[in-house]
């Protein structure tokens, strides 16, 4: 309750008090009713009473519907309680007027509770999110057990001295007190707006029918009600057969007291703990499992004591663990639907369950009274509800997933099917006056493998770019219907178009006439193309061609280099490998890209160093990756080694994880995971995680080493806690000066590192639980919406191991620092630090930036005691840190603490 606002705390306390007084009165009323009824009426009549209660409840629900629609719910509750008190008191007057009064008295508590208790919980549901509810419902529910204990204790104490009938008057008093609590709590409050959707309506049945989750909730309510009715019947039957009527009230009061006291203990000690550790759905298994065990034992051995024990367990668990869990199951349901459906589920589930049980008992009673058979039936029905609860988990979590995904944009996962209309659209776009539109249409037709549908006449398009691109596409598709146009293009004034036409033409025919003519072209671009074409056709020795090409490339002009690379790409020959390596050293990104494409056509391990370097050049990266992929396993091994090599260009190293991810998935994933645990650079670790995620999305059956992932998760949580600890210490410890620029930068860096570590933890969770969308869970935690945050928490709790989950929740939560570190104890041992200790630790951190900022901050604070430490660090510091330390030492020797070296 510590994180609740004052207003919410008051609401919780009021709810507790209200429920306690209400249930105390109800317990007194029920004890009196059972004792008075069974003393005069045989237990065999009980099934008829169950049926009557069910029928009455249906009537009540109809009565409640218009009332809930018209009146303020809290006022309605107050009026209902006053009416309840009056009628209970009236029963005291007429209790001995005949059997009809006893029948009416038996029905009265059920009628009353179906009105008052349901209205109470509905009012409460309006005020809390699922996270708040999980925290406070246990406490509010304890009001029920406290009230039951008080009521039972009063009953137990009085029945020895006074007739059971007198308990009715005391019960009426409690109802009156409840009405007073409601009135006081409502005083001065404006009534909440009553929406039409909140009304109990039979139309809601259709909504239940349409939603599998709600159907299951209804069925669960029904099965638990069948079980509870059977337990009640078994208990009362055995008591009425085994105990003298004069002691009925004493037995019932004792059992009620036992239920209440034990229930109270469970509620206080167990419910919250159970909900948090086992989760809602697992906690809901407790009662059905108890029914299974109790039913089986009773069927096997029989006996009043077992029946009493079963009744006690039912009372202890149903109104503590089960009730709280059941309320929580409804919280992720859309509020409008919940308001409409929940009362119906409660009423229909409980009362139909009662009816089914009553009919079952009557049917068995017609044959012969066979309590053991009935106990066996109880075990079977309870087993059904166990299965149902197990099946509920998926639906429950799905509702939270839906909440988190509300407003999420759908994703285009694959290229849509090309139908006739779409094809028409693309062909029409080829006539567009906008070159961009034409280029996109060409690109899409090629992507859909419809190059043959591109009209050859487009080669006469006025746009140079369109003509060159089309020539490329035609050459790749080996189109042969454009020979006449290609011949004409060979006379084109633009040398690049002439060269491209020559390439396309020579790829179609093995004739060397055109190529030889090309050798005499005035443009070196065309001559280079001709040389490569002749070599590819075997008309020229590769050595001779290479020699001439190298001469041609003596002056490194981009168009010439591009033309040679493109020609080699079209007609790859191993003899041109060296020439490609020469071209790979070009400064032009476009040439590098073309070289990458050419290398792909003639894979060779000799290209590996050049290709790794090309990864650093963004425009050439994709071509380099394709070429590496074409080389296969040797390239993968080379990349793995390069990832460990700190001398590789930083940009190239950072591009390696995504490149590795293109290789056969399992081998790639294994390589990446191996490096994840050893990688020092945060950006590379991040990119490895991102690549692993992409691999997993593309290959859902990928096997990732869970142990390595868990180890990495633990390590990352440790890093996050350490950064949190450092940051909080920096913000809170004495002696620091938040306005100093170094302080601000250091604090921002630590926060940034903390955030990045948390992000990596989410990514690691996603790799371990790929079916869950941790992106959206992470976004949920960052959201302003309490509902989204609690949904994210609920999903996280259901999927992730408790230790990791608690640690992550502590990292992203808002609780005070001690609690946060306690939750992360498995990953980080918290010891308070002084400023000096903090700076000491920061100066020894693995991050170069942190060390630099720590040195700077110590100097800007004028901490002279750090001079020897800084001098020691200076001795073997890398150049970057050495520079900062030099500056820091200078600051310490020349400036006072208040004079900053570089105030912003």
Q: Does 441 bind another protein (CB under 8 A)?
A: yes
Candidate segments 377-385, 398-406, 416-424, 714-722, binder of another protein by CB under 8 A? 416-424
Judge contact between 387 and 223, C-beta under 8 A: no
Among 654, 693, 820, 869, binds another protein (CB under 8 A): 654
Candidate segments 64-72, 194-202, 216-224, 743-751, binder of another protein by CB under 8 A? 743-751
Rounded least distance, CB 408 to another protein, Å: 9
Q: Does 575 bind another protein (CB under 8 A)?
A: no
Q: Does 429 bind another protein (CB under 8 A)?
A: yes
HSE-CB at 485 with a 13 A cutoff on CA atoms is: 18
State the DSSP H helix or E strand holding residue 48, giving kind and residue range, or none if neither. Answer: helix 46-70
Among 210, 411, 484, 875, binds another protein (CB under 8 A): 411
Among 440, 463, 508, 601, binds another protein (CB under 8 A): 440
Binders of another protein in range 667-696 (CB under 8 A): 682-683
Q: Does 412 bind another protein (CB under 8 A)?
A: yes
Rounded least distance, CB 423 to another protein, Å: 9
What whole-number distance in Å separates Cα of residue 537 and Cα of residue 29?
Answer: 105
Judge contact between 259 and 316, C-beta under 8 A: yes
Q: Does 876 bind another protein (CB under 8 A)?
A: no
Q: How many residues can be counted in the chain?
A: 904
CB-based burial of residue 96 (10 Å sphere; 0-12 exposed, 13-18 middle, 19+ buried)? exposed
Binders of another protein in range 92-111 (CB under 8 A): none
Per residue in 206-221, is it b (16+ CB within 10 Å) or e — as a string? ebbeebebbebbbbbb
What whole-number distance in Å separates Cα of residue 563 and Cα of residue 524?
Answer: 9
Tally of CB atoms within 10 A around 380: 12
Q: Cα 639 to the chain's mean position, in Å?
A: 34
The two tokens of residue 396 are: 């429950």
Compute the chain's Rg from CA coordinates.
40
Q: What is the DSSP string of 736-751?
A: --TTSHHHHHHHHHHH
Closest CA to 904 of 730, 745, 752: 745
Among 856, 861, 870, 873, binds another protein (CB under 8 A): 856
Q: Which residue has the tokens 């059905």?
A: 288
Of 44 and 849, which has the nearer Cβ to another protein? 849
Q: Does 604 bind another protein (CB under 8 A)?
A: no
Binders of another protein in range 331-390 (CB under 8 A): none
Of 651 and 815, which has the nearer Cβ to another protein? 651
SS3 651: helix
Closest CA to 305 of 369, 251, 264: 251
Pinpoint the alpha helices (H) of 126-211: 130-159, 167-186, 204-210
What whole-number distance in Å separates Cα of residue 160 and Cα of residue 185?
Answer: 37
Measure Cα distances from 179 to 15, 147, 544 in Å: 12, 15, 106
Rounded least distance, CB 891 to another protein, Å: 11
Among 62, 578, 641, 651, binds another protein (CB under 8 A): 651
Closest CA to 125 of 204, 192, 208, 222: 192
Q: Does 410 bind another protein (CB under 8 A)?
A: yes
Q: Does 887 bind another protein (CB under 8 A)?
A: yes
Q: Does 878 bind another protein (CB under 8 A)?
A: no
Candidate segments 83-91, 92-100, 141-149, 430-438, binder of another protein by CB under 8 A? 430-438
Among 189, 415, 513, 680, binds another protein (CB under 8 A): 415
Who contacts 259 (Cβ-Cβ below 8 Å, separation ≥6)?
A: 148, 152, 311, 312, 315, 316, 319
Candidate segments 32-40, 62-70, 745-753, 838-846, binder of another protein by CB under 8 A? 745-753
Rounded least distance, CB 468 to another protein, Å: 15
Who contacts 254 (Cβ-Cβ below 8 Å, separation ≥6)?
A: 152, 156
Of 334 and 437, which has the nearer Cβ to another protein? 437
Binders of another protein in range 811-850 (CB under 8 A): 848-849
Q: At what angle do helices 464-477 and 435-447 cross, to 10 degrees?
A: 10
CB-based burial of residue 7 (10 Å sphere; 0-12 exposed, 13-18 middle, 19+ buried)? exposed
Of 339 and 723, which has the nearer Cβ to another protein? 723
Among 626, 737, 819, 886, binds another protein (CB under 8 A): 886
Among 494, 626, 819, 883, binds another protein (CB under 8 A): 883
* Count of residues touching another protein (by CB under 8 A): 55
Q: Does 122 bind another protein (CB under 8 A)?
A: no
Q: Does 424 bind another protein (CB under 8 A)?
A: yes
CB-based burial of residue 779 (10 Å sphere; 0-12 exposed, 13-18 middle, 19+ buried)? middle
Q: Does 749 bind another protein (CB under 8 A)?
A: yes
Q: What is the DSSP string of 202-247?
A: TTHHHHHHH-HHHHHHHHHHHHHHHHHHHHHHHHHHHHHHHS-GGG
The interface mask with another protein, positions 9-48, x = CB under 8 A, is ----------------------------------------
Of 498 and 653, which has the nearer Cβ to another protein? 653
Candidate segments 265-273, 453-461, 731-739, 883-891, binder of another protein by CB under 8 A? 883-891
Q: Does 434 bind another protein (CB under 8 A)?
A: yes
What whole-number distance in Å separates Cα of residue 183 and Cα of residue 196?
Answer: 24
Q: Does 436 bind another protein (CB under 8 A)?
A: yes
Of 382 and 617, which has the nearer Cβ to another protein? 617
SS3 420: helix
Candidate segments 15-23, 32-40, 285-293, 738-746, binder of another protein by CB under 8 A? 738-746
Query: How large is the greatest C-alpha to C-alpha distance in the chain, in angstroms?
Result: 127
Candidate segments 148-156, 335-343, 511-519, 878-886, binder of another protein by CB under 8 A? 878-886
Candidate segments 337-345, 425-433, 511-519, 763-771, binder of another protein by CB under 8 A? 425-433
Q: Does 780 bind another protein (CB under 8 A)?
A: no
Q: Does 719 bind another protein (CB under 8 A)?
A: no
The two tokens of residue 440 are: 């996109």
SS3 873: helix
Of 440 and 451, which has the nearer Cβ to another protein? 440
Among 188, 244, 421, 868, binds another protein (CB under 8 A): 421
Of 179 and 746, which has the nearer Cβ to another protein? 746
Candidate segments 291-299, 313-321, 428-436, 823-831, binder of another protein by CB under 8 A? 428-436
Of 193 and 739, which has the nearer Cβ to another protein? 739
Candidate segments 15-23, 534-542, 551-559, 879-887, binder of another protein by CB under 8 A? 879-887
Closest CA to 299 of 228, 381, 376: 376
SS3 594: helix
Q: Which residue has the tokens 């050495």?
A: 882
Q: Does 206 bind another protein (CB under 8 A)?
A: no
What whole-number distance in Å separates Cα of residue 368 and Cα of residue 372?
Answer: 11
Q: Does 873 bind another protein (CB under 8 A)?
A: no
Judge contact between 657 and 687, C-beta under 8 A: yes
Q: Does 463 bind another protein (CB under 8 A)?
A: no
Binding site for another protein (CB under 8 A): 409-419, 421-422, 424-426, 429, 432, 434, 436-437, 439-441, 443-444, 447, 618, 651, 654, 682-683, 741-742, 745, 748-749, 751-753, 756, 848-849, 852-853, 856, 880, 883-884, 886-887, 901-904
């Amino acid at each position: 309750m510590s994180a609740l606002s004052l207003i919410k705390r008051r609401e919780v306390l009021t709810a507790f008090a209200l429920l306690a007084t209400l249930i105390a009165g109800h317990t007194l009323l029920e004890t009196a009713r059972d004792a008075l009824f069974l003393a005069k009426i045989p237990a065999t009549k009980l099934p008829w009473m169950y049926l009557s209660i069910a029928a009455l409840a249906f009537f009540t629900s109809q009565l409640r519907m218009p009332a809930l629609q018209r009146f303020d719910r809290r006022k309605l509750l107050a009026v209902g309680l006053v009416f309840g008190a009056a009628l209970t008191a009236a029963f005291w007057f007429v209790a001995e007027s005949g059997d009809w009064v006893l029948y009416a008295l038996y029905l009265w508590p059920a009628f009353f509770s179906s009105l008052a208790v349901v209205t109470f919980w509905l009012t409460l549901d309006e005020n809390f999110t699922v996270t708040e509810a999980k925290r406070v419902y246990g406490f509010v529910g304890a009001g029920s057990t406290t009230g039951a204990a008080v009521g039972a204790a009063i009953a137990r104490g009085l029945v020895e001295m006074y007739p059971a009938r007198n308990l009715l008057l005391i019960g009426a008093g409690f109802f009156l007190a409840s009405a007073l609590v409601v009135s006081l709590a409502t005083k001065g409050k404006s009534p909440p707006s009553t929406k039409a959707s909140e009304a109990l309506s039979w139309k809601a049945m259709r909504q239940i029918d349409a939603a599998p989750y709600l159907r299951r909730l209804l069925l669960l309510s029904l099965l638990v009600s069948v079980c509870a009715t059977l337990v009640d019947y078994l208990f009362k039957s055995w008591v009425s057969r085994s105990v003298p009527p004069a002691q009925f009230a004493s037995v019932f009061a004792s059992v009620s007291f036992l239920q209440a006291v034990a229930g109270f203990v469970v509620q206080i000690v167990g419910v919250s703990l159970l909900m948090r550790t086992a989760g809602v759905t697992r906690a809901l298994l407790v009662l059905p499992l108890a029914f299974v065990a109790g039913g089986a034992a009773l069927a096997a051995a029989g006996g009043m004591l077992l029946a009493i024990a079963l009744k006690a367990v039912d009372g202890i668990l149903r109104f503590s663990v089960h009730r709280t869990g059941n309320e929580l199951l409804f919280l992720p349901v859309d509020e409008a639907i919940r308001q409409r459906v929940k009362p119906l589920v409660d009423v229909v589930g409980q009362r139909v369950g009662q009816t089914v049980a009553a009919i079952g008992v009557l049917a068995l009673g017609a044959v012969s009274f066979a309590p053991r058979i009935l106990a066996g039936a109880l075990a079977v029905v309870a087993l059904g509800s166990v299965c149902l609860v197990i099946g509920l988990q998926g639906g429950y979590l799905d509702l939270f997933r839906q909440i988190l995904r509300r407003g999420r944009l759908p994703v285009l996962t694959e290229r849509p099917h090309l139908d006739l209309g779409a094809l028409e659209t693309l062909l029409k776009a080829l006539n567009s006056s906008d070159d961009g539109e034409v280029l996109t249409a060409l690109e899409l037709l090629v992507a859909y493998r419809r190059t043959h549908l591109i009209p050859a006449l487009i080669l006469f398009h006025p746009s140079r770019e369109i003509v060159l691109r089309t020539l490329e596409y035609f050459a790749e598709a080996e189109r042969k219907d454009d020979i006449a146009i290609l011949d004409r293009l060979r006379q084109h004034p633009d040398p690049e178009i002439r060269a491209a036409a020559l390439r396309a033409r020579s790829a179609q025919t093995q004739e060397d006439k055109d190529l030889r003519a090309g050798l005499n072209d005035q443009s070196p671009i065309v001559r280079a193309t001709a040389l490569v074409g002749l070599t590819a056709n075997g008309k020229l020795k590769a050595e001779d061609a290479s020699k001439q090409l190298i001469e041609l490339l003596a002056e490194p002009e981009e168009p010439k280099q591009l033309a040679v690379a493109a020609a080699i790409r079209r007609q790859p020959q191993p003899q041109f490998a060296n020439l490609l390596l020469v071209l790979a050293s070009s400064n032009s990104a476009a040439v590098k890209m073309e070289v990458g494409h050419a290398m792909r056509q003639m894979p060779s391990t000799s290209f590996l160093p050049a290709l790794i370097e090309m990864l650093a050049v963004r425009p050439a990266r994709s071509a380099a990756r394709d070429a590496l992929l074409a080389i296969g396993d040797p390239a993968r091994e080379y990349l793995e080694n390069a990832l460990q090599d700190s001398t590789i260009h930083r940009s190239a190293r950072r591009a390696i994880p995504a490149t590795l991810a293109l290789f056969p998935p399992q081998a790639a994933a294994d390589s990446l995971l191996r490096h994840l645990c050893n990688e020092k650079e945060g950006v590379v670790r991040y990119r490895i995680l991102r690549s692993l995620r992409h691999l997993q999305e593309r290959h859902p059956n990928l096997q990732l080493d869970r142990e390595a992932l868990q180890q990495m998760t633990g390590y990352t949580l440790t890093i996050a806690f350490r950064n949190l600890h450092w940051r909080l210490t920096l913000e809170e410890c004495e002696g620091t000066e938040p306005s100093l620029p170094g302080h601000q930068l250091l604090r921002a860096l630590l926060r940034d590192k903390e955030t990045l570590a948390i992000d990596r933890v989410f990514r690691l969770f996603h790799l371990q639980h790929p079916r869950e969308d941790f992106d959206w869970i992470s976004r949920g935690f960052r959201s302003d919406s309490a509902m989204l945050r609690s949904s994210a928490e609920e999903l996280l709790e259901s999927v992730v191991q408790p230790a990791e989950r608690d640690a992550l929740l502590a990292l992203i939560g808002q609780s005070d620092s001690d609690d946060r570190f306690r939750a992360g104890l498995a990953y980080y041992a918290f010891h308070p630090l002084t400023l000096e200790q903090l700076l000491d630790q920061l100066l020894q951190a693995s991050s170069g930036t942190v060390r630099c900022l720590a040195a700077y901050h110590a100097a800007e604070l004028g901490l002279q005691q750090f001079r020897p430490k800084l001098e020691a660090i200076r001795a073997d510091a890398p150049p970057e840190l050495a520079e900062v330390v030099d500056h820091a030492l200078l600051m310490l020797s020349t400036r006072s603490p208040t004079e900053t070296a570089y105030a912003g």
